[in-house]
Amino acid sequence: MSTEPQIPTTMRAVVMNAPGDVTVETINTPRVVKPTDVVLKLAAACVCGSDLWPYRGYEPVDHRFMGHEYVGTIVEKGDQVTTVELGDFVIGSFMLSDGTCEICEAGYPSRCANAGTYTGSQAQYMRVELADGSLVKVPGGQPDDPDKLADYLAASDVLGTGWYAAVAANAGPGKTIAVVGDGAVGLCAVLAAKTLGADKVIIFSRHEDRAALARDFGADIVVAERGEEGAAKVKELTNGYGAHGVCEAVGTQESMDQALASVRPGGYVGFVGVSHDQTIDGLNLFFHEVHLEGGPAPVRRFLPELIKLIQADKIHPGKVFTKRVPLENAAEAYKAMDERREIKVLLAV
Ligand SMILES: [Zn+2]
């Protein structure tokens, strides 16, 4: 095992003690355990929309270390890690993957046969298992520009997830894509659909700040109506047919119903909002001829392409971070997102 000497024995990490109760604790710094692990010194982390489920009491939580989005520099490396080196600045996804099983090779590393989930990136250091299959090096190292750093951090989850939604919604030239959800993922789905060449992108939104960023990301039309009225509006904009594809980026019954009501027969729905109490009516589905694909996004599949787009200044997904606070102020970050005062908050480490 190769090690740089300066890893401190303790570090600061964000913990959710109970719903609505977020603090920062001093704990032991993680170290390499398995030969396929690395330890990262994090450059930035952030609060995810999905962190709000336990924060609001919709998921049980009891002293959980938080965070699954990260960019950082490798400071310790197991003996069997070969694709990344000490000192590399890397991005990883929220799902760990080996990169070698048939599921990974088919492009679904988020469902890797040896996959693991990770939590604990809202901290100064983190251990990443399966480093070879999970991490992608950013050429040129950690950027000095904080906006660029935010762009790379966004690629770790919200951009990668929005990208998957747009790919699953079959976004491309000649297509009209509708996006349900104006949170960071929905906004990134707009950016993705447009970057993938969609002719027209429609987003459902009633929040002027979010709609403004959606327009900045390439949205052509903002629809304030919901439900049947909202679906009627999408049909009106597509010669009565409905959207070619819809990105569902919320995870509620209402959002899935909106997606299915807005897509044309033979169309595509990419759903990436973490599902909470959704059911889909079989008969409705039967008569829809709809292609449905979704789940935890295989972000690792898209990272090399996303890194290139960011390096070339083609996309600026870091704009979803409307606020930046020090890691120590994590409680403030959660509160701002919970109250929907901010779209997404970056934690500077
Ligand atoms: Zn795999």
Domain end point (choices 294, 314, 335) = 294
In the structure, ligand 1 is a single-atom ion and the residues with CB under 5 Å from it are 97-98, 101, 104, 112
Task: Say what the pLDDT of residue 4 is.
Answer: 52
pTM for this prediction = 0.94
Least confident of 207-221, 279-293, 308-322, 327-341: 279-293
Residue 77: band (very low, low, confident or very high) from pLDDT cuts 50, 70, 90: very high
115 CA from centroid of ligand 1 (Å): 6
Angle, CA of 129, 135 and 136, to the nearest 5°: 170
The verdict on 10 and 53 lying in the same domain is yes
Task: Say what the pLDDT of residue 329 is.
Answer: 97
The verdict on 263 and 307 lying in the same domain is no
100 CA from centroid of ligand 1 (Å): 5
185-207 mean pLDDT:
98
pLDDT in tens, 87-106: 999 999 889 999 999 999 99
99 CA from centroid of ligand 1 (Å): 5
The verdict on 124 and 218 lying in the same domain is no
Residue 2 has pLDDT above 60, yes or no: no
The verdict on 12 and 153 lying in the same domain is yes
CATH number at residue 238: 3.40.50.720
112 CA from centroid of ligand 1 (Å): 4
The verdict on 49 and 177 lying in the same domain is no
Residue 5: band (very low, low, confident or very high) from pLDDT cuts 50, 70, 90: low
Domains: count for the chain: 2
229-239 mean pLDDT:
98
77 CA from centroid of ligand 1 (Å): 20
| 28: Cβ contacts below 8 Å, ≥ 6 apart | 9, 10, 11
The verdict on 101 and 179 lying in the same domain is no
Q: For residue 50, give the nearest of 67, 32, 33 by alpha carbon.
A: 67
189-206 mean pLDDT:
98
- % residues pLDDT > 90 (the chain): 90
The pairing of strands 116-117 and 176-180 is: unpaired
Domain span at residue 92 reads 2-157+298-348
93 CA from centroid of ligand 1 (Å): 13
Domain end point (choices 279, 294, 309) = 294
107 CA from centroid of ligand 1 (Å): 9
Domain end point (choices 294, 309, 327) = 294
The verdict on 284 and 178 lying in the same domain is yes
Task: Say what the pLDDT of residue 118 is.
Answer: 82
With b for 16 or more beta-carbon neighbours within 10 A and e for fewer, the 99-135 pattern comes to bebebbeeebbbebeebeebebbbbbbbbbbbbbbbb
pLDDT in tens, 105-151: 999 999 999 988 888 999 999 999 999 999 999 999 999 999 999 99
The verdict on 342 and 267 lying in the same domain is no
The verdict on 191 and 71 lying in the same domain is no
The verdict on 53 and 82 lying in the same domain is yes
Cα–Cα dist 16/22, whole Å: 5
Residue 337 has pLDDT above 70, yes or no: yes
The verdict on 224 and 275 lying in the same domain is yes
pLDDT in tens, 11-47: 999 999 999 999 999 999 999 999 999 999 999 999 9
User: What is the residue-averaged pLDDT of the chain?
Assistant: 95
101 CA from centroid of ligand 1 (Å): 4
321-341 mean pLDDT:
96
The verdict on 176 and 261 lying in the same domain is yes
CATH number at residue 23: 3.90.180.10
Task: Say what the pLDDT of residue 1 is.
Answer: 55
pLDDT in tens, 279-299: 988 888 888 899 999 999 999
Residue 250: band (very low, low, confident or very high) from pLDDT cuts 50, 70, 90: very high
134 CA from centroid of ligand 1 (Å): 10
Cα–chain center distance at 308: 17
